[in-house]
Amino acid sequence: MAEDGFMKVSRRGVLAGGVASAAVGQASILRAQDSSTGGAAKQAKVPVRLTVNGTPQELELDSRTTLLDTLREHLKLTGSKKGCDHGQCGACTVMVNGTRINSCLSLAVQHQGDEITTIEGLGSPEDLHPMQAAFVEHDGYQCGYCTPGQICSAVAVLEEIRNGIPSHVTEDLTGRMRATEMEMRERMSGNICRCGAYSNIAEAMAQVAKG
């Protein structure tokens, strides 16, 4: 995955990306029709193997199935949310081989052999990941629908900062990167929270970043 590409996506950048992704969606629908034989003919399925939260999975999928729908509809891991299906909201954020992506923008067939980590893989109600616990403590949510995506992004953002990957607001590209408030807010900006929990999410992240 082009991890830098995802990280650098700004709010305005998403606009262009969103339009492009919509166009791709259309094209793939049309292609699917061209190749269909009409009637209720059975569509060819593609075998997909991936590992989700440590468990190997073998699936037979319609090639149009996104990674997000694979998780939600086929594996019934509904923690990853569908807010837009267009790469515009971040609710579907998961980790692929350690890098966060919008799983709605990615087809399952692109992920042969990949390691996927979803919110369910980070922790359970009885055994929360520190970031999950910090969200509860700081009330970093309201309705909870954007929350799994926020938490997956938050965990990945701190990792990106630890790894020295720069962002749009990084002031010193050669020095040691720090998890400043602006650095975190910039990197989290692909995850929309319409309930407006941003200020509390920032506090939850700062607490985890401090360790």
Partner 1 sequence: MEFNAPAGENLFDRAKIVGKSTPRIDGPLKVSGRAPYAAERHDVAANQAYGWIVGAGIAKGRIRAMDLDEARRAPGVIAIVAATEHEPVASSDFNYAPLFGGREVSHYHQAIAVVVAETFEQARAAAGLIRTSYTNGEGTFDLKKAAPGAPLASDRPSDSAKIGDFDAAFAAAPVKVDERYTTPDEAHAMMEPFATIAAWDGPKLTVWTSNQMIEWSRQALASILKMDADNIRVDSPYIGGGFGGKLFVRSDAVMAALGAKAAKRPVKIAMQRPLMFNNATHRHATMQRLRIGAERDGRIVAIGHENWSGNITGEAGENATLQTPKLYSGANRLIANHIAQLDLPEGNAMRAPGELPGHLALEVAMDELAEKLGMDPVELRIVNDTQGMVPGEPDTKLSDRNLTRCLREGADMFGWSKREARPGRSRKGRWLTGMGVAAGYRAAPTMKSGARVRMTDRGQLVVETDMTDIGTGTYTILAQTAAETMGLPLDAVRVELGDSSFPVSAGSGGQWGAASSTAGVYAACVALRRMIGEKLGFDADAATFDGGRATLGVESWSIRDAGALTAEDSMTFGEFKKDYDVGTYAGHFAEVKVDAYTGETYITRMLAVCDAGRILNPLSARSQVIGGMVMAAGAALTEDLHVDKRFGFFANHDLAGYEVPVHADIPHQECVFLDTLDPVSTPLKAKGVGELGICGPGAAVANAIYNATGIRVRDYPLTLDKYLDRLPAIA
The interface with ligand FES within residues 100-139 (CB under 6 A) comprises 102, 104
Q: Is there binding between residue 11 and partner 1 (CB under 8 A)?
A: yes
Rule CB under 6 A: choose which of 46, 84, 165, 179 binds ligand FES: 84
Which of 65, 58, 143 minimizes the C-alpha distance to 104?
A: 65
Please give the size of the binding site for ligand FES, defined by CB under 6 A: 23
Exactly one of 57, 142, 180, 207 binds ligand FES (CB under 6 A); that residue is 142
- Within 150-179, the residues that bind partner 1 by CB under 8 A are 151
Residues 63-82 that bind ligand FES (CB under 6 A): 82
Residue 102 interacting partner from partner 1, ligand FES, none (CB closer than 5 to 8 Å by kind): ligand FES
User: Binding segment for partner 1 among 80-88, 95-103, 109-117, 158-166 (CB under 8 A)?
Assistant: 80-88
Residue from the set 3, 115, 120, 159 that interacts with partner 1 by CB under 8 A: 120
SS3 letters across the chain: CCHHHHHHCCHHHHHHHHHHHHHHHHHHHHHHHHHCCCCCCCCCCEEEEEEECCEEEEEEECCCCEHHHHHHHHCCCCCCCCCCCCCCCCCCEEEECCEEEEHHHCEHHHHCCCEEECHHHHCECCECCHHHHHHHHHCCCCCCCCHHHHHHHHHHHHHHHHCCCCCCCCCCCCCCCCCCHHHHHHHCCCCCCCCCCHHHHHHHHHHHHHC
Token pair of 126 as six digits: 């009885």
Site membership for ligand FES, residue 88 (CB under 6 A)? yes
Question: By CB under 8 A, is residue 116 in contact with partner 1?
Answer: no
Candidate ranges 95-103, 109-117, 134-142, 158-166; the one touching partner 1 (CB under 8 A) = 134-142
Q: Rounded to the nearest whole angstrom, what is the least distance from the CB of residue 51 to partner 1 in the complex? A: 18
Question: Residues in the site for ligand FES, rule: CB under 6 A?
Answer: 82-85, 87-92, 102, 104, 141-147, 193-195, 197
